[in-house]
Amino acid sequence: MAPTTPSPRPSAALDPPIALEPAMAANGIGSFDWDLRRDLIVGDARACRILGIDDPAENPGLPPLTAESFLALLHPEDAPIVRRRVEHAVRELGQCGAYYRTLFADGEMHAVRFRARVLADEDGKPSHMVGFVWDATVELHKRVRADRLALLREERTRFIKEAARALSEATTMQDVARVFTELPLPGIPPDGLILAVLESGRIQILRSTGYDPAAPPPYDHVPLDADHPAALALRTRTPVFLGSRAAYQERFPGAWPQVSPSPKQGWAFLPLVASGRPLGVCLVSFDEERALDSEDRTLLSTLGGMVAQSLARARLHDAEHELAAGLQRVLLPRSIPPLPGFTSAVRYLPAGTGLQIGGDWYDVVPLPGGHVGLVIGDVQGHDVHAAGVMGQLRIALRAYAAEGHPPAAVMARASRFLADLDTGHFATCLYVEVNVDYGAAYAVRAGHLDPLVRRADGSSAIQPVAGGLPLGIDPENSYPVTRFTLDPGELLLLCTDGLVETRTVDIDAGMERLRVAIGGAHTVQAQGPDALEALADRIVGAAADSHDRDDDIAMLLLRWEGPAEARPRQLRRRIPQADLQQISEVRGELRDAVRRWGVGDLADTVELLTSELVTNALVHTDRDALLTARLYQEGGEAGPARLRVEVDDESDLWPKRRTPGEQASSGRGLMLVEALADAWGVDPRGSGKRMWFELIHHQ
Residue 186: helix, strand or coil by DSSP?
A: coil
Residue range 157-322 forms a domain whose CATH class is alpha beta
pLDDT of amino acid 367? 85
The rounded percent of the chain whose pLDDT value lies above 70 is 85
Q: What is the DSSP code (8-state) at residue 279?
A: E
Please state the rounded mean pLDDT for residues 394-402. 90
Most confident of 302-316, 618-632, 660-674: 302-316
DSSP string, 431-476: EEEEETTT-EEEEEEEB-PPPEEE-TTS-EEE----EEPPBTT-TT
Please state the rounded mean pLDDT for residues 512-528. 70
| Domain 11-135 listed as CATH 3.30.450.20 | yes
pLDDT of amino acid 17? 58
Helix (H) or strand (E) holding 41: strand 40-43
pLDDT at 187 over 90: no
Taking the C-alpha atoms of residue 364 and residue 376, their distance in angstroms, rounded to an integer, is 9
Distances (CA, A) of 277 to 198, 200, 300, 312, 356: 10, 14, 19, 9, 27
pLDDT band at residue 30, thresholds of 50, 70 and 90? confident
Q: What is the DSSP code (8-state) at residue 85?
A: H
* Residue with more model confidence, 532 or 59: 532
Residue 11: helix, strand or coil by DSSP?
A: helix
pLDDT of amino acid 235? 92
pLDDT band at residue 75, thresholds of 50, 70 and 90? confident
pLDDT at 344 over 70: yes
pLDDT at 414 over 80: yes
Please state the rounded mean pLDDT for residues 634-643. 73
pLDDT of amino acid 427? 92
pLDDT at 10 over 50: no
Taking the C-alpha atoms of residue 493 and residue 448, their distance in angstroms, rounded to an integer, is 13
pLDDT of amino acid 1? 35
Q: Which of these, 499, 464, 488, 481, lies nearest to 376 by C-alpha position?
A: 499
Q: Looking only at Cα atoms, what is the longest distance across the chain?
A: 159
pTM, rounded to two decimals: 0.53
CATH code of domain 333-560:
3.60.40.10
Please state the rounded mean pLDDT for residues 70-76. 87
The rounded percent of the chain whose pLDDT value lies above 90 is 19
Q: Where are the domains of the chain?
A: 11-135, 157-322, 333-560, 570-697
Q: What is the DSSP code (8-state) at residue 333?
A: -
pLDDT at 430 over 90: yes
Q: Which amino acid is at 687?
A: S
680 phi/psi in degrees, rounded to 5: -155, 170
Q: Do residues 229 and 248 touch, judged by C-beta distance below 8 A? A: yes
Distances (CA, A) of 349 to 56, 316, 332, 426: 88, 21, 12, 21
User: What's the chain's average pLDDT?
Assistant: 82
Taking the C-alpha atoms of residue 46 and residue 183, their distance in angstroms, rounded to an integer, is 51
Q: Which amino acid is at 149?
A: L
Q: Do residues 443 and 502 touch, judged by C-beta distance below 8 A? A: no
| Domain 570-697 listed as CATH 1.10.10.10 | no
473 phi/psi in degrees, rounded to 5: -85, -50
Domain 333-560 identical in fold to domain 570-697: no
pLDDT band at residue 537, thresholds of 50, 70 and 90? confident
In 10 A of CB 284, how many CB atoms?
27
Q: Residue 385, exposed/middle/buried by CB under 10 A (0-12, 13-18, 19+)? A: middle
pLDDT at 16 over 60: no
pLDDT tens per residue across span 455-475: 878 889 999 999 899 999 998
pLDDT tens per residue across span 189-241: 888 889 999 888 889 888 888 888 777 666 788 888 888 999 999 999 999 99
Taking the C-alpha atoms of residue 408 and residue 483, their distance in angstroms, rounded to an integer, is 12
Those residues whose C-beta lies under 8 Å from the C-beta of residue 84, and which sit 6 or more positions away, are none
pLDDT band at residue 544, thresholds of 50, 70 and 90? low
Q: Residue 622, exposed/middle/buried by CB under 10 A (0-12, 13-18, 19+)? A: exposed
pLDDT tens per residue across span 284-310: 999 988 888 888 888 888 888 889 988
Q: Do residues 229 and 242 touch, judged by C-beta distance below 8 A? A: yes
pLDDT of amino acid 18? 60
pLDDT of amino acid 411? 94
pLDDT tens per residue across span 226-283: 889 999 999 999 999 999 999 999 999 988 988 888 889 999 999 999 888 899 999 9
Taking the C-alpha atoms of residue 642 and residue 656, their distance in angstroms, rounded to an integer, is 26
pLDDT at 655 over 50: yes
* Residue with more model confidence, 550 or 184: 184
DSSP string, 503-564: SSS-HHHHHHHHHHHH-STHHHHS-SHHHHHHHHHHHHHHHHT-TT--S-EEEEEEEE----
* Residue with more model confidence, 529 or 186: 186
pLDDT band at residue 3, thresholds of 50, 70 and 90? very low
In 10 A of CB 339, how many CB atoms?
16
Q: What is the DSSP code (8-state) at residue 600?
A: G
DSSP string, 656-669: ------TT-SS--H
pLDDT at 11 over 50: no
Taking the C-alpha atoms of residue 84 and residue 567, their distance in angstroms, rounded to an integer, is 105
Helices and strands of the chain, counted as H and E runs: 19, 27
Q: Residue 577, exposed/middle/buried by CB under 10 A (0-12, 13-18, 19+)? A: middle
Phi-psi region of 398 (alpha: psi -120 to 50; beta: other; left: phi over 0): alpha
pLDDT of amino acid 246? 92
